[in-house]
Structure 1
Amino acid sequence: MPPNAEASSSKRNNKPYQKGPNSKAKKGKQPPQNRNQDTSKLGVSKIKGLIRQASRLLQKEGIEPGLKIQTERRLESLKADLRKAELGNVEKKNHEKYHMIPLSERKKLLRIIKRAHSGIKLDESDQQTKDKLEIELFEARIMLNYILHYPMTQKYIALFAASAEGKDAAEEEERHLTLPQHLHSTPAAEDKPAVTRLELLNKLKALMEDKTEAGKQGVSLRPEETLKEDGSGRTNKSLLSVDSKEKQVAGPVDKPGDDEEEEEEADDFFE
């Protein structure tokens, strides 16, 4: 071999190996999935898949006791996350379907509250009229809390009857806007939505009459001021409960109309 060729061969052999542009990295064993990952924000299908994986692992023979205990705990945690995720889907669906009804009703109640406030402050109002307005103001606040605390997992049961169609009819209704008398009526037993609505209203009434308990439960005695101060909508999803076994039917649908007099308050839940 010529001396130059031998030197060239030796030089090539001393060069470190370099991967070409098309060379593939050697696949090694993939790291195991982190069993402590946060699953609370995963979707329903993803959580169900993890539950199936954990269940299959527990069915294997000869599983180590430590791993079995860890997997059982993880399985219980996944089931809890699944319930939360399914509940979140129901709440989202109901919000998309019913959010315009409580928004319209909230505006009506704010107008009634404002009207009652103005009447109470008038010096020329007699005491009997003021007492009547005080009752109307309190009941309007109960109904406003009804909207803010209504359980999102249930179909919304409306407070107001369906609005009349047509511009003239809507204007006439606006001039004669009155507070629904649900707190002073007894619905028929077969009218399940009305019965449920009255139960929720009475629960809120009892809480608001007990100011200490209302504060513990996060129920505002002046919800209209809470809306103006922080723009909050729903304040406590778990305060009011409806029997989930009983199929609820939505009450009269109140079609939202144009509201030029009342300014829009920020509301993350209803808007």
Structure 2
Amino acid sequence: MTRPSWAPEGIDLDRPSASRVYDYFVGGMHNFEIDRQLARQIEAFTPNIAETMRANRDLLRRCVRFLVDAGVSQFLDIGSGIPTVGNVHEVAQGRDPSARVVYVDIDPVAVAHSRAILDDDPRTAVVQADISQPDVILADPQVAKLIDMDQPVAVLLLGVLHFVADTADPLGCVAALRDSVGRGSFLAITHATSDGQPSEVLEAQKLSGRTSTEIMLRSKDEIATYFDGWSLVEPGLVHLPLWRPDNPDDIGTAPEESGAYGGVARKI
């Protein structure tokens, strides 16, 4: 196989990468046949997994557009994976060319690919760090270089908190991030849920995680606590297709089948 420019040396192309599997599911081009084979195996267990991942990606785009229109020009995207099609910096800079984005992920494969893809963009940076160590993220020199914490910041936690076990104190992690940003900042979260999901989906969903870490399915009330002290913007914490759809037809007939909630809140 010829190694493309976005796949740096040291990345094993003969083993599937969970980040590249996600890229495939959302229509990206940064994946290989070995990744697509694994994706098809996952789909056999969870037929709606691709739809769920696309719903999450679609919400990301709508969310970023909303945030730029609200005056935000700097983004901290934690648990970003590979910045694939319709990524944060493309959407944000399409509306505001001065927008700055720091991508953060613990997966070394995602980080290596991201750095290769974004090497020539001075308004983006990639940091390898874990959501469970917010102090490490906030102290990183690249975060300090691109993100001015005295100005409104959008903290994006899209599809990552359900990989954080209760023993790692996800509430404390999110609280540290909330406390680090000033008034006028926003927090965006999407999170897989057990609400309304059949038992077979609950079992299969454990196999569809981006890493080998078990997905922690949480209820709407549990997810809502991540926004404590902030003001949820309309329409609140809702199933993914219900969050500010571009077109009413995009909601579909069963938005709860997305298997996840999404919401955005502002620090007043």
What band does the TM-score fall into relative to the shorter chain?
under 0.3
TM-score scaled to structure 1, two decimals? 0.21
Q: Which structure's residues are more often strand, by fraction?
A: 2
Greater relative contact order: 1 or 2 (C-alpha under 8 angstroms, separation 6 or more)? 1
Q: Which structure's residues are more often helix, by fraction?
A: 1
